[in-house]
């Protein structure tokens, strides 16, 4: 099929490449000329495992091209809208200007029978509004909503081999078109849920709200563990054996971040309030508050470890991205902690396998190094803030040969506490004795 993907950021670049890899003829459209040039050269503007390979493969096949000219969508019959919906500057609501601009730019090139497919995470009610806009345009095109469920670090797999496909459609024809788009995926037995617009929109934000709640729940238990002497990791293991609960996303630490969970739960709360049902998701405000408190707790542990003051103390912060296998520093707990420590007068040296350049653009006042050894050299305190494999596998004895201090704060509860203590370290976890 001939497809277009409007917006070639994280979601759009992955989706365009994956669809071409599945055999479709795809054109990716974006207003950022530099981004388009990079993608056309087979170089994504962000780090995502597996993406360079399928980007190169699809490009070499001739099935994938990129452009800044919206007119290049004219031959496509299915148009995916994959632009961002960031949090607005003056409220918790989602900024819909990019979605609205994408639809406005697309309308002049739509033809009878074309299907516009929304993939962006939007407030419930958006699809109905856009469907009416497309109907009123007289183009003969229709709208479907097909939310994405990508995990950064696994986005390629999640696109080619998703755990489910959700179609928000107004008629059977739209579902049939999407079935054709995803024929290869459906042939493997991937579950398909066909529903209305509103349900499809709610599936994504509800999923993110649930995951955020689960993370903040175990972090709330960590707060209780810290005043009772309990071990939150053992607690998570024990309750995680209950099939109704499960162990995934029950890892206490410095909390969640990134470009999805924080802004999505805030936007969900804002939309519920607009609908007159703010009380239904009022608990998400506490989920957000717990999440932010864990960052402060990590800073407090650093102050305690350095006898009440971090002023002029050299602190090695291992990690700046919000999670491993990503270069995303948006709303990153690791970066936030480094900034807070810097604000208290500490000499912070941050290191990360992929996120340094993005972190430097946001917080140039911090000191960064690509060398783990350089970050650790002379450190009076070590803090693990992102659980990259390189950091989890550090040898405590080797770290001791570089650092001056002998305290490590494990902000992700990812280290072997016994091994570090046996090597002479004072180990401090999050909700662990």
Neighbour order of strands in the sheet with 2-6: 64-67, 25-29, 2-6, 78-81, 115-118, 142-145, 165-168, 192-195
The answer to whether residues 165 and 186 touch, using CB atoms and an 8 Å cutoff, is yes
The answer to whether residues 7 and 83 touch, using CB atoms and an 8 Å cutoff, is yes
The answer to whether residues 21 and 129 touch, using CB atoms and an 8 Å cutoff, is no
Sign of CA dihedral 99, 103, 106, 111: positive
Tokens found for residue 156: 């390629």
φ, ψ at 253 (rounded to 5°): 170, -140
Q: Which of 64, 203, 260, 284 is catalytic?
A: 260
φ, ψ at 105 (rounded to 5°): -70, -30
Distance CA 423, CA 400 (A): 8
Distance CA 286, CA 270 (A): 14
DSSP result, 130-160: HHHHHHHTTS--EEEE------TTSHHHHHH
Residue with the two structure tokens 């990812």: 414
- Among residues 198, 200, 238, the alpha carbon closest in space to that of 221 is found at 238
The answer to whether residues 218 and 236 touch, using CB atoms and an 8 Å cutoff, is yes
DSSP 214: H
User: Can 8 be counted among the known catalytic residues?
Assistant: no
- Catalytic site residues? 260
């Amino acid at each position: 099929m001939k497809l277009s993907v409007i917006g070639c950021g994280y979601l759009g670049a992955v989706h365009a490449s994956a669809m071409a890899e599945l055999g479709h003829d795809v054109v990716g459209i974006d207003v950022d000329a530099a981004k388009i040039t990079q993608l056309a050269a087979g170089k994504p503007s962000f780090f995502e495992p597996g993406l360079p390979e399928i980007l190169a493969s699809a490009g070499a096949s001739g099935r994938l091209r990129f452009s800044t000219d919206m007119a290049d969508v004219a031959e496509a019959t299915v148009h995916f809208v994959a632009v961002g919906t960031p949090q607005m500057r003056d409220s918790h609501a989602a900024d819909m200007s990019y979605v609205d601009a994408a639809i406005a730019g697309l309308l002049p090139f739509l033809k009878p029978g074309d299907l516009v497919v929304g993939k962006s995470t939007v407030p419930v009610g958006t699809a109905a509004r856009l469907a009416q806009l497309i109907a009123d345009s007289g183009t003969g095109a229709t709208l479907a909503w097909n939310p994405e469920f990508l995990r950064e670090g696994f986005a390629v797999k999640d696109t080619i081999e998703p755990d489910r496909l959700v179609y928000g459609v107004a008629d059977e024809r739209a579902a049939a078109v999407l079935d054709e788009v995803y024929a290869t995926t459906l042939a493997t037995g991937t579950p398909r849920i066909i529903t209305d617009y509103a349900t499809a929109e709610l599936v994504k934000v509800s999923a993110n709200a649930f995951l955020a709640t689960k993370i903040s729940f175990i972090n709330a238990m960590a707060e209780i563990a810290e005043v009772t002497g309990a071990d939150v990791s053992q607690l998570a293991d024990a309750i995680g054996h209950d099939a109704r609960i499960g162990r995934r996303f029950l890892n206490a630490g410095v909390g969640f971040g990134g470009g999805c969970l924080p802004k999505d739960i805030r936007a969900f709360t804002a939309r519920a309030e607009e609908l007159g049902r703010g009380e239904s998701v009022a608990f998400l405000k506490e989920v957000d508050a717990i999440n932010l408190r864990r960052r402060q707790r990590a800073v407090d542990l650093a102050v305690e470890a350095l006898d009440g003051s971090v002023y002029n103390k050299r602190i090695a912060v291992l990690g700046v991205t919000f999670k491993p296998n990503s270069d995303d520093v948006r709303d990153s707990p690791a970066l936030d902690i480094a900034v807070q420590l810097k604000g208290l007068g500490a000499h912070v040296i941050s290191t990360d396998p992929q996120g340094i350049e993005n972190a430097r653009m946001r917080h140039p006042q911090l000191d960064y190094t690509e060398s783990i050894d350089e970050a650790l050299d002379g450190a009076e305190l070590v803090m693990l803030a992102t659980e990259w494999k390189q950091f989890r596998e550090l040898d405590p004895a080797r770290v001791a040969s570089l650092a001056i201090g002998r305290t490590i704060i494990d902000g992700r509860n990812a280290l072997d506490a016994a091994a570090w203590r046996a090597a002479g370290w004072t180990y401090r976890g999050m909700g662990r004795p």
